[in-house]
A and B are shown apart, each in its own frame.
Chain A
Amino acid sequence: MSSAAPSYDPAVLARVQRLHLKARILTEALLQGDHRSRRVGQAIEFAGYHEYLPGHDLRHLDWRVWGRSDKLVVKTFETETELPVTVVLDLSADLATGAPAVTGLRRLKRLVTGEGTQPSASLPDLDKSKAGFALSLAATLLYYFYLRREPIGLELIAGEGRPIRSIPPRSGRGHLQALLLTLAQARPGGEARLHEALVAVGERSRRRSLVLVLSDGMEEPETWLPAVAAFGRRRTDLRFIHLYDRREWGLELDQAARLYSPETGEEIAVDPAAARTALREVATEYAEEVRRGVTSWGGLYVKGPINEGLEPLVRKVIRGAPASPGGDPFGGEAKG
């Protein structure tokens, strides 16, 4: 899964280069002034009790237990030397949207050329669509943890022709290249089916690992949020990066249109003037609903508007800064 095919499309290779470069530039900026241990998670952690047998290190005897129960038990410890990081990337067809606002000449051009009226069947633009943004973010995060010498893995949810693709965490430059190549080739498509995907990823993930889920979460939250619990039970550090386009949620259209979902084909005729306010209300409620769900199941919720650029988002993800309750998806974090 991780090895690259011998004959790659030059465009794909260029895309790998670009992803690599983008990730490296961003990551180096992030690492400036960072003096943390190069071994992330290097610590001794209590794992349980065992009956004392001759030969055990007496330093590990639990004298308190002996004092209370007259039994000799030794404490056992697990030593963490690495933190496997898995990036779970939702590449369902809806991620292909999220183009900048269409007005004036651009709209005229689109009417003439047909651009934007159908989701692109080619590789997503890394700077425009939600999918492109997600790919860039995934590459950056993988590169970041690669530099930290952590095993890194990739789980692709949906994506054209590939309902799910799993690359377990490993270390090594070659593995990074394989991951970047996978990202470079990925195209949005199909349905995410988040619940099934997250349950599967949760079962595959190691204990005490870091799982970064990059998704628009565009399925009814009550259907997939319970799957987050699977990570909590495995003591996995789950961070849910909620990707969305503020322009899209703001319904920045200048006239009525038939909006359709690339993922399901569902179509709804909308007068933006009539529905804009309602959509903003619904979007805010929905974001809060997802935040509350992720948090309640033990995860960390991070707002991921694609309109603010990668760097601040990567910082939030790495720092593990949770989104404040009641935050406005169209602005900054809520005060207080």
Chain B
Amino acid sequence: MSLSMLLPGALALAALIALPILAHIARQRPRERVPFGAMLLLRRVVKRLRRRRRVKDPLLLLLRIAFLMLLVFAATGLRFSYDGGAPEFGGTGKVVVLFDRSMSMSMMHGGSTVLSRTRGEARELIDSLPPGTQVGLIAFDDEATALTSGLVTDHAQVRSRIGVIEPSLGGSNLRAALIEARRMLEGEPGEILLFSDEAGPRMVSEASDELRRVIDQGSAVLSKRPEAVPRNVAVTAARYGDGIEGGTVELLVSNFGDQPIEVPCEVRLPDGQVVPIFADLPPEGESLERVTVPRQAEGGVGEAWCDDPDLPADDARYFHLPQVGASRVLVVDGDPGETPIRSEVYFVERALAPWGAGRSGVTPDVVTPLGLLDLDPQTHQVVFLANVGDPRPFAAKLAEFVQKGGSLVISAGSNVSAERYNSALSGLLPAPLRRAEDLAGRGEPGVALLTPDPSLELFEPFARSGRTAFSEVASRRVVLLEPYSEGSQARTLLRYEGGIPALVEREVGKGRVMLWTSTFDYDWSNLPTQAVFMPMIQRIVAYLGGQSSGAGARFEADVGRPVAIELPDLAIDPQVFGPDSQPVPSRIEGTKLIFTPSRPGAYELRVDASPPLAWVAANLDPTESDVRVYETVMEAEARIAPERFLRHVDLSPWLLGGALLLALMIALLALRGRAT
């Protein structure tokens, strides 16, 4: 409530107040002088009248001042302003309906969703609009979408389009909706009707600037908020961390309702294990729950879920879980180069952990041959022996390792000597080595690999696609093997054109030995630059009992927001698969793969049928789960432009009436007698 003046300059007339004051100060004295013999009585009269005058004269003065003040204020156009609620509506003939379809609008209330109830209210409003009113319809969540082509007078069309609005899993981007509304109004004033729960701490605050522009444009935003009591339980955070057994999954369960509640929750691990818990939630509070992960668990994306019938859409939250209890890969570099890229195992290491050891499921430990002295089967399950010159000092250690279930991958190279290998590793090699032989001259492409047999367990993941990429791999030089017969002793997994063995496997004790007759670097082969290199290496590791599905890199994403994943410097062409294992549209921009998750869950980045290169845990924006109202649009509008919400009462007629009344009172007092 406030008072304001249309003509404040008229306040200068307040100087007129001095007139009655002067009149009271300067009284006219009668001129005639008359003798009087009863002065005693007159003194008593004066005394008595003075007592009355103490009341009457100040009263008269006040009345005269008040009379003038009322006139002055009437001249200034004094008006009384008070908060009158919503501003006037419907004056422009242009109405834009903003319909919130964010996730919170799917909250259940009275057996139906808030959105469906709001749809009914919006339809009623459309029906109540006078014919000829131009109406536009915009639905918004994270983005705003115009459902009418500008402003239309066909109310039935608007009505029908309201009926097809369905709740999404996105947030409430009111700012985008207001921008679209302004565009629809083409800079003209209009009424913007907002149908939204106005839930969340950011919805209105982030739209303040745009709200100001709308108001400056002469438009008014009126909100129609459903009367549903905000109530929602959501898992607002979940993550894996260290702890006893296989570690701990922490989930933060939030209660956005005003009543305490106990809800059943579950933590679902990637390998299908389910750990049930109950969460006690205080009103408008949260609870941090901890779930212990078993000693052995497959890596991937897990799910933390709590039952909430009010708003099921945000009941689950997805988190990354590394391979629990997994072995590490020991890479023995037999030919360390002067630079990293010249190193024998540079590409193997990159193929095993494309995004670095910290973010991948595989942690390759690169050592020199001396590192084999500390080989521990409890720590490592797979050993890559890359171009190691003399394996004899470690032969017994390697044999014991393989016998106990470890796996050994041997690659050839310039340091490999057939004599030393045959003598030291005869119990491990699928076949004795003969010599290295050139298959092509320098500058020639070399001999290509044949397409692998998908019936072999190693190449099962490539059954649907990707096998042809193997034929892009060519070697110019290989180590030849002594003739061997196919069986458990030696099984050829890959051959070059012409039948030269490329990859040969042998089972030894509980473990396996795999021999790659060429190199893992550029010396003898183009393998490191081929798309199949990384999936093949990872598949070999998985096949040999090391990391498999949990080996991929891990990324977080918000539903509805694009995810950009920097691809490793390998020639790969990955594809994104959604929670339902169906491909998800993606694109590559430069070195980044970009896609937008449309729903929460686990997204995989795979090359052909290889194990996932990366996992993406997509979740809803937890702030959208907060269905409480922080500041309504009307409140924000009143804050931005309080004058729009004020009602004004012109006080001038009342002031003039009051002045007239005072004038009568003054005259009455004057008539009742002027004092001595």
Residues of B within 8 A of A270 (CB): 30, 42, 45, 676
Interface centre among B31, B39, B46 (most CB of A within 10 A): B39
Q: Does A8 have its Cβ within 8 Å of any Cβ on chain B? A: no
Known: A274-B674, A275-B676, A286-B41. A255 touches B49 (CB 8 A): no
Q: Is the CB of A273 within 8 A of B674?
A: yes
Q: Which residues, 90 to 120 on A, are CB-close (under 8 Å) to B? A: 94-98, 116-119
Q: Is the CB of B41 within 8 A of A279?
A: yes
Q: Which of B32, B45, B46 is within 8 Å of A257, CB to CB?
A: B32
Min CB distance B668 to A, Å, is 14
Q: Is the CB of A256 within 8 A of B34?
A: no
Q: A256-279 vs B: 1/0 string, CB under 8 Å? A: 111111111011111101110011
Q: From B42, which residue of chain A is reached at the shortest CB distance?
A: A268
Residues of A within 8 A of B32 (CB): 117, 255-258
Q: Which residues, 275 to 318 on A, are CB-close (under 8 Å) to B? A: 275, 278-279, 281-283, 286
Q: Is the CB of B37 within 8 A of A258?
A: no
Query: Considering the chains assembled together, what is the distance between the CA atoms of A260 and B49 in angstroms?
Result: 18
Q: Which of B29, B30, B36, B44 is within 8 Å of A248, CB to CB?
A: B36
Known: A269-B29, A271-B673, A271-B674. A261 touches B41 (CB 8 A): no
Q: Does B33 have its Cβ within 8 Å of any Cβ on chain A? A: yes
Q: From B47, which residue of chain A is reached at the shortest CB distance?
A: A282
Q: Which residues, 540 to 586 on B, are CB-close (under 8 Å) to A? A: none
Query: Considering the chains assembled together, what is the distance between the CA atoms of A104 and B665 in angstroms?
Result: 34
Q: Does A245 have its Cβ within 8 Å of any Cβ on chain B? A: yes
Q: Is the CB of A278 within 8 A of B49?
A: yes
Min CB distance B37 to A, Å, is 4
Known: A271-B676, A278-B45. A259 touches B40 (CB 8 A): no
Residues of B within 8 A of A273 (CB): 673-674
Q: From B33, which residue of chain A is reached at the shortest CB distance?
A: A258
Residues of B within 8 A of A256 (CB): 30, 32
Q: Does A249 have its Cβ within 8 Å of any Cβ on chain B? A: yes
Q: How many residues of B contact A (CB 8 A)?
A: 24
Known: A216-B38, A286-B40. A260 touches B33 (CB 8 A): yes
Q: Does B43 have its Cβ within 8 Å of any Cβ on chain A? A: yes
Q: Which residues, 513 to 564 on B, are CB-close (under 8 Å) to A? A: none
Residues of A within 8 A of B31 (CB): 258
Q: Does A28 have its Cβ within 8 Å of any Cβ on chain B? A: no
Q: Is the CB of B675 within 8 A of A261?
A: no
Q: Which of A94, A118, A244, A257 is within 8 Å of B39, CB to CB?
A: A94
Query: Considering the chains assembled together, what is the distance between the CA atoms of A218 and B42 in angstroms?
Result: 11
Q: From A120, which residue of chain B is reached at the shortest CB distance?
A: B35
Q: From B672, which residue of chain A is reached at the shortest CB distance?
A: A274
Interface centre among A248, A267, A269, A271 (most CB of B within 10 A): A269
Query: Considering the chains assembled together, what is the distance between the CA atoms of A117 and B32 in angstroms?
Result: 8
Query: Considering the chains assembled together, what is the distance between the CA atoms of A279 and B33 in angstroms?
Result: 18
Q: Is the CB of B38 within 8 A of A283?
A: yes
Q: Is the CB of B39 within 8 A of A259?
A: yes
Q: From B46, which residue of chain A is reached at the shortest CB distance?
A: A268
Min CB distance B187 to A, Å, is 72
Min CB distance B279 to A, Å, is 89
Query: Considering the chains assembled together, what is the distance between the CA atoms of A243 and B638 in angstroms?
Result: 83
Q: Does B442 have its Cβ within 8 Å of any Cβ on chain A? A: no
Interface centre among A116, A119, A257, A259 (most CB of B within 10 A): A259
Q: Is the CB of A219 within 8 A of B46?
A: no
Q: Does B464 have its Cβ within 8 Å of any Cβ on chain A? A: no
Q: Does B54 have its Cβ within 8 Å of any Cβ on chain A? A: no
Q: Is the CB of B35 within 8 A of A96?
A: yes
Interface centre among B29, B30, B36, B673 (most CB of A within 10 A): B36
Q: Which of A95, A116, A245 is within 8 Å of B34, CB to CB?
A: A116
Q: Is the CB of A257 within 8 A of B33?
A: yes
Q: Does A130 have its Cβ within 8 Å of any Cβ on chain B? A: yes
Q: Which of B39, B46, B49 is within 8 Å of A218, CB to CB?
A: B39
Q: B1-45 vs A: 1/0 string, CB under 8 Å? A: 000000000000000000000000000011111111111111111
Min CB distance A304 to B, Å, is 13
Interface centre among A119, A244, A267, A279 (most CB of B within 10 A): A279
Known: A279-B45, A286-B40. A97 touches B29 (CB 8 A): no
Q: Is the CB of A96 within 8 A of B43?
A: no
Q: Is the CB of A262 within 8 A of B674?
A: no
Min CB distance A141 to B, Å, is 22
Query: Considering the chains assembled together, what is the distance between the CA atoms of A13 and B32 in angstroms?
Result: 36
Q: B639-676 vs A: 1/0 string, CB under 8 Å? A: 00000000000000000000000000000000001111
Q: Which residues, 424 to 446 on B, are CB-close (under 8 Å) to A? A: none
Min CB distance B28 to A, Å, is 9
Q: Is the CB of A218 within 8 A of B35?
A: no
Interface centre among A130, A256, A281 (most CB of B within 10 A): A256
Q: B292-322 vs A: 1/0 string, CB under 8 Å? A: 0000000000000000000000000000000
Query: Considering the chains assembled together, what is the distance between the CA atoms of A262 and B33 in angstroms?
Result: 11
Q: From A243, which residue of chain B is reached at the shortest CB distance?
A: B37
Q: Is the CB of A261 within 8 A of B674?
A: no
Known: A255-B32, A269-B30. A275 touches B49 (CB 8 A): yes
Residues of A within 8 A of B36 (CB): 97, 248, 259-261
Q: Is the CB of B49 within 8 A of A264?
A: no
Residues of A within 8 A of B38 (CB): 94, 216, 218, 244, 248-249, 279, 283
Query: Considering the chains assembled together, what is the distance between the CA atoms of A268 and B49 in angstroms?
Result: 13
Q: From A273, which residue of chain B is reached at the shortest CB distance?
A: B673
Q: From B29, which residue of chain A is reached at the shortest CB distance?
A: A269
Query: Considering the chains assembled together, what is the distance between the CA atoms of A116 and B32 in angstroms?
Result: 11
Min CB distance A293 to B, Å, is 14
Q: Which residues, 228 to 270 on A, are CB-close (under 8 Å) to B? A: 244-245, 248-249, 253, 255-264, 266-270
Q: Does A34 have its Cβ within 8 Å of any Cβ on chain B? A: no
Q: Which residues, 124 to 163 on A, are CB-close (under 8 Å) to B? A: 130
Residues of B within 8 A of A264 (CB): 39
Query: Considering the chains assembled together, what is the distance between the CA atoms of A255 and B28 in angstroms?
Result: 13
Q: Does A70 have its Cβ within 8 Å of any Cβ on chain B? A: no
Q: Which residues, 397 to 413 on B, are CB-close (under 8 Å) to A? A: none
Query: Considering the chains assembled together, what is the distance between the CA atoms of A94 and B673 in angstroms?
Result: 28
Residues of B within 8 A of A253 (CB): 34
Q: Which of A118, A268, A278, A281 is within 8 Å of B35, CB to CB?
A: A118
Interface centre among A94, A130, A248, A274 (most CB of B within 10 A): A274
Q: Is the CB of A117 within 8 A of B35?
A: yes
Q: Does A220 have its Cβ within 8 Å of any Cβ on chain B? A: yes
Q: List 11 A-B contacts (CB under 8 A).
A: A94-B37, A95-B37, A118-B35, A244-B38, A249-B38, A257-B33, A259-B39, A262-B35, A262-B37, A271-B674, A278-B49
Q: A94-B39, A248-B38 are in contact. List 18 more A-B contacts (CB 8 A).
A: A96-B37, A98-B37, A117-B35, A216-B38, A220-B40, A266-B39, A266-B43, A268-B39, A268-B42, A268-B46, A269-B30, A269-B676, A270-B42, A271-B674, A271-B675, A281-B48, A283-B38, A286-B44
Closest 9 CB pairs of A and B: A97-B37, A259-B36, A261-B39, A274-B673, A94-B37, A256-B30, A257-B32, A282-B44, A258-B33
